[in-house]
Amino acid sequence: MQTGNSTKSVNPAQILVELTSGYWISQAIYVVAKLGIADLLKDGAKSCDELAQIADVHAQSLVRVMRTLASVGIFTEVDTGRFALTPLAEPLQASVADSIRAWAIMMGEESYRAERTLVHRQDRQAGL
């Protein structure tokens, strides 16, 4: 992103694309927090097949979520379909001192729902 000290020109459309896709990351963080994936990886890397079986979710869907989060450094894909924690993922564990797992779940459930409600109200008022 362009800052006040930067001389490099940044395309405003690209900045908006990055900002509007941010919800994918926040919702993916919510999903792994809700499923306890970071806790399942605390002892080392596991395949998405293993994680999906333990969490009782669809393995291929979990692979997509984990790759999304690996793309921003929250997990690392150590081998095809096999993921491990990174320092960014560690606070998603329930048992660590600086855990933000409950926060991530609350933000994914409550805040996201509250913000969607605003749009739905406006749509109803506009007759959409």
**Tens digit of each residue's pLDDT (9 = 90 or more) over 101-121:** 999 999 888 776 666 666 655
Q: Using CA atoms, how far apart are residues 1 and 22, in angstroms rounded to an integer?
A: 14
pLDDT value at position 43?
97
pLDDT value at position 71?
93
Structure pTM? 0.78
Architecture per CATH, 12-125: Orthogonal Bundle (1.10)
Q: What are phi and psi of 84, to 5 degrees?
A: -140, 165
pLDDT value at position 5?
53
pLDDT value at position 40?
98
Using CA of residue 27, residue 121, residue 19, residue 104, what is the dihedral sign? negative
> pLDDT tens digits for 39-91?
999 999 999 999 999 999 999 999 999 999 999 999 999 999 999 999 999 99
